Structure 1
Amino acid sequence: MQKLNWDDLRFVLAVADSGSVASAARILGVNHATVLRRLNAFEAAAGAPVFERSAQGYRLRADRLAVIEAARDAASALDRAGRHLSETLPDGGSLMRLTSVDSLCQSVLAEEMPQIAKRIAPHRLALISANTRLDISRLQAEMTVRPTPTLEEFMVGEIACDLAFAVYANKDAPGGWLGLGGTLAGSLPGRWLADHVLSEHVVALADSFQVLTVMAQAGMGRAVLPCILGDRARGLNRIDCDMPDLRVPLWVATHRDLAGLPRIDLLQRAVFAALRRQRDALEGVAQGA
């Protein structure tokens, strides 16, 4: 076995996670040939193929699973080192990344950015809107505002408040429903809809509460929305129905390896305070929810 080039590692892991060279290339922002070249170099150094190639994609060989798991451990170790060598800015601060779902990034977090920025100076903040969870264990973000009942075991955080949901529609809406697709299908509102609304009554779906809000405003049907969006949307009103009080804890969380670092604690306190200032709106108190 030759000495492994750890720079090839991220290409191998991207193929392992995505199942194809084309998908890995899109994820990494490189071309197809670059991924193939790096993958071939890694396999040559490892002394044997890592993947089985087929028309369906790339599948890990059973006898090479241990290699990939060792590679993941090495990648995690490199990421942990990187967390302590964060990007340094000319004024002595660092750039930190906060991620959350689009409905929160485009409402309370964007509104509170000026106050958050003041509290964390000279550090700066990048706000990343993503309905798919970024991998905090691999430093895609330092902190998250996440609506979820529980956190993964590698994360630590504090609940700022609840995120409440209600049913909304405009006065001209027909009786149909707007469904939740993609990652939102597994959310608390998504599960309630799946259990209580017949599929033939769902007239359209979306994987974003922001998009669903616009669709509801256009009169397409009733939608289950976060109160922070529905209460503010022009032309929408809460609709009485048999939906129970749906709410999810809203966490401000980080990776356990980052917890206790002064810059991370500073950001966590600033974001927590921002959410507490918006607590009534997030919990739907404005209309008596």
Structure 2
Amino acid sequence: MNWDDLRFFLQVARTGRLTQAARALGVDHATVSRRIGALEDAVQAKLFDRSPRGYALTEAGQRLLPAAEAIESAAMSGAAAVGGRQHALSGAVRVGMPEGAASHLVTETAALLCDAHPQLELQIVALPRSFSLSQREADFAVVVTPPESGRLRIRKIADYHLRLYAARSFLAGREPRSLDDLRGMRGVGYVQDLIFDKGLDYVAEIGGGLSPQLTSTSLLVQLELTLAGGGLCILPDFMARRRPELVPVLPEQTCLTRAYWLVLHQNTAEIPRIRRVAHAFADAMRQKLAEAEAQPPDSAAKAT
């Protein structure tokens, strides 16, 4: 077997298409096809099912994937050590994380990392979806609900709190005094059937009959809708407390607790650039969340 063919195998497995794999590898698609064919001949097994939709791993391909990733990980770690780059990070690191955490908790750290390591490329994917680390959709992930299976390393970062918030203009003259007062008031929240993480399905936990009428898959859109006077919205304290236009509503009764978790794949967790970026992000999030928790919430009645 030509071990270099595994690079082509991994790229096709991750992209599902020859053209995308070829672009990433800097070759033409015919070269990728030829190298995949050579690998299949060497292992005497069909590794991909070809169709108009792309390339999907066969059962044999699924069995080869973790071994190929382990070899890739060992090669990358070895290159970093031999090349003396333990302190100077280079290459791409992709992290999948919720957009609230991405936009409010790690931006400064990301900029500082790139200042310190000019050859480092950080890709922050803040989409309302889950990420497969085994398929290398991300090098590591930050999640609200930790996965229950897989060859993963999972570590809790920190708890954070959410409360019901609204714009001062929305509350003027109709500040709720109890949870029952929330009934009939317009809510802002997630599109119910598109909630990608069960940890974000929290409206029912508030009670009081709150029902979102303005909804979005984006937490940042929800924030802007709330700022525009759209209604009552459950927001993380670390986001809402940056906005003086927002006030907490029944802060003691509507307080919810969630946690962020750091998830790495066992095959790549010790690659220096991945490990150090992951730990830097986790440390930054922990510090930012602690700062937010140190700010006591004001009541809506007191603020209006």
Bin of the TM-score, shorter chain as denominator length: 0.5 to 0.7
1:97 aligns with 2:90: no
**1:53 & 1:258 partners in 2: Cα distance?**
30
Quickly say closer, same or farther: Cα 1:196–1:27, change in 2 above 3 A: farther
**1:219 & 1:27 partners in 2: Cα distance?**
46
8 Å Cα contact 1:181/1:207 also seen in 2: yes
Please state how far the C-alpha of 1:188 moved relative to its aligned partner.
4.8
Please state how far the C-alpha of 1:185 moved relative to its aligned partner.
1.3
Q: Which residue of the other structure, out of 139, 144, 149, is the alignment partner of 2:141?
A: 144
Amino acid at match of 1:155: L
- Name 1:80's counterpart in structure 2: 73
**1:255 & 1:49 partners in 2: Cα distance?**
22
Q: Which residue of the other structure, out of 101, 110, 124, is the alignment partner of 1:128?
A: 124
**1:158 & 1:98 partners in 2: Cα distance?**
18
Question: What's the TM-score, normalizing by structure 1?
Answer: 0.66
Aligned length: 272
Q: Which residue of the other structure, out of 282, 290, 302, is the alignment partner of 1:280?
A: 290
- Name 2:175's counterpart in structure 1: none
Give identity over the alignment, percent: 15
Unaligned segments of structure 1, at least 5 residues: none
Amino acid at match of 2:188: L
- Name 2:161's counterpart in structure 1: 164
Bigger radius of gyration, 1 or 2?
Answer: 2
- Name 1:176's counterpart in structure 2: 186
- Name 1:219's counterpart in structure 2: 229
The worse-fitting range, judged by mean Cα deviation, of 209-218 and 237-246 is: 237-246
Amino acid at match of 1:205: T
Unaligned segments of structure 2, at least 5 residues: 172-184, 300-304
Render the CA deviation track for 1:88-137: whole Å, top value 9, x for unaligned. 8999722352522221121121133466568x768846151323344333
Render the CA deviation track for 1:58-101: whole Å, top value 9, x for unaligned. 897xxx94234235445534543454256x89997223525222
Render the CA deviation track for 1:155-213: whole Å, top value 9, x for unaligned. 22432311221111113338211231389614356423267789994322211211110
**1:275 & 1:12 partners in 2: Cα distance?**
34
Amino acid at match of 1:279: L
Moved over 6 A (4+): 24-30, 34-50, 57-60, 88-92, 195-200
Quickly say closer, same or farther: Cα 1:281–1:181, change in 2 above 3 A: farther
Question: What's the TM-score, normalizing by structure 2?
Answer: 0.63
8 Å Cα contact 2:161/2:256 also seen in 1: yes
**1:204 & 1:70 partners in 2: Cα distance?**
45
Q: Which residue of the other structure, out of 216, 220, 227, is the alignment partner of 1:210?
A: 220
Quickly say closer, same or farther: Cα 1:270–1:233, change in 2 above 3 A: same
